Amino acid sequence: MWVYEKALLYPVRVTRPDPRMAKNIITQYGGPDGELAASLRYLTQRYTMPIPQAIGVLTDIGTEELAHMEIVAALVYNLIRDAPLSEIKAVGLDAYYADHDRALYFVNAAGAPWTASYIQSKGDPVTDLHEDMAAEQKARSTYEYLIDLSDDPDVIDVLRWLREREVVHFQRFGETLNLVHDYLNSRHVF
Amino acid sequence: MDAGRDELLNRIRALQFTAVELGLFLDTHPEDARALADYNAASQELMRLKETYEQRYGPLLDYGFSLSPQSWRWIEEPWPWQVSM
CA dihedral B79, A69, A92, B85 (to 10 degrees): 30
For chain B, report the end-to-end CA distance as a whole number of angstroms.
Answer: 11
CA B78 – CA A77 distance, rounded (Å): 14
CA-to-CA dists, residue A173 to A28, A55, A123, B17, angstroms: 20, 11, 16, 19
Backbone angles phi, psi at A169, to 5 degrees: -65, -40
CATH number at residue A101: 1.20.1260.10
Residue A1 maps to a domain:
no
ipTM score for this prediction:
0.95
Residue B84: predicted pLDDT:
76
Which band of pLDDT confidence, cut at 50, 70 and 90, is reported for residue A114? very high
Q: What is the mean pLDDT of residues A117-132?
A: 98
How many distinct structural domains can be found in chain A? Answer: 1
Residue B3: predicted pLDDT:
84
**Helix, strand or coil for residue A62?**
helix
Entry field: residues in chain A: 190
Which band of pLDDT confidence, cut at 50, 70 and 90, is reported for residue B54? very high
CA A148 – CA A161 distance, rounded (Å): 14
Residue B44: predicted pLDDT:
98
What is the extent of the structural domain holding A179? 19-110+124-186
Residue A4 maps to a domain:
no
Write out the residues of chain A at the interface with chain B, using a CB-CB cutoff of 8 A: 3-16, 53, 56-57, 60-61, 64, 70, 73-74, 77-78, 82, 168-169, 172, 175-176, 179
Chain A partners within 8 Å of B30 (Cβ): 53
How many CA atoms within 13 Å lie on the side-chain side of A22? 28
Residue A173 maps to a domain:
yes
Chain B partners within 8 Å of A57 (Cβ): 24, 27-28
In DSSP terms, B61 is beta-bridged to: A5
Residue A11 maps to a domain:
no
Residue A2 maps to a domain:
no
Q: What is the mean pLDDT of residues A166-178?
A: 98
B30–A53 C-beta distance less than 8 A = yes
Residue A190: predicted pLDDT:
55
Selecting from A5, A57, A78 the residue whose C-beta is nearest the C-beta of B83 gives A78
Q: What is the mean pLDDT of residues A48-52?
A: 98
Burial zone of B33 (CB within 10 Å; 0-12 exposed, 13-18 middle, 19+ buried): exposed
B81–A77 C-beta distance less than 8 A = yes
For chain A, report the end-to-end CA distance as a whole number of angstroms.
Answer: 39
Buried residues in A152-178 as b, exposed as e (16+ CB within 10 A): bebbbebbebbbebbebbbebbbbbbe
Which band of pLDDT confidence, cut at 50, 70 and 90, is reported for residue B1? low
